[in-house]
Amino acid sequence: MENKIKVSIVGGSGYVGGELLRILLFHPNVHISQITSEKLNGKPVSKAHPNLRKITQLKFSSSDNLEDCDVLFLCLPHGESMKRIDFFKDKAKKIIDLSSDFRIKDEKIYKEFYEKDHENPSLLKDVVYGIPELHREEIKKSNFVACAGCNATATILALYPLFKNNLVEADKTVVEVKAGSSEVGNSPSAASHHPERSNSVRSFMPTGHRHTAEIVQELSLFSKEKISVHFSATAIDIVRGILVTSHVFLNKDVSEKEIWEIYRKEYGNEPFIRIVKDQDGIYRFPEPKLLVGSNFCDIGFEKAKDSNRLVVISAIDNLMKGAAGQAVQVFNIMNGLKENTGLEFPGLHPI
- Number of Cα atoms under 13 Å in the Cβ half of residue 39: 8
Residue 125: DSSP 8-state: G
- CATH 3.30.360.10-classified regions of the chain: 151-318
Residue 187: pLDDT above 90? Answer: no
User: Which CATH number describes the domain made up of 151-318?
Assistant: 3.30.360.10
Cβ atoms 205, 235 nearer than 8 A: no
224: three-class secondary structure by DSSP: coil
Residue 1: predicted pLDDT: 56
Residue 197: pLDDT above 90? Answer: no
Work out the mean pLDDT of the chain and round it to a whole number: 96
DSSP string, 80-91: THHHHHHHHHHH
- Which long-range contacts does 74-77 make (Cβ < 8 Å, 24+ apart)? 74/10, 74/11, 74/98, 74/99, 75/9, 75/10, 75/11, 75/12, 75/14, 75/16, 75/17, 75/20, 75/99, 76/10, 76/11, 77/11, 77/185
307-321 per-position pLDDT tens digit:
999 999 999 999 999
- CATH 3.40.50.720-classified regions of the chain: 5-126
Residue 188: predicted pLDDT: 86
Residue 286: pLDDT above 60? Answer: yes
29-81 per-position pLDDT tens digit:
999 999 999 999 999 999 999 999 999 999 999 999 999 999 999 999 999 99
Instruction: Give catalytic residues, as residue numbers.
Output: 150
Closest CA to 313 of 278, 349, 282, 287: 287
Residue 224: predicted pLDDT: 84
Domain covering 5-126 assigned CATH 3.40.50.2300 in the classification: no
157: three-class secondary structure by DSSP: helix
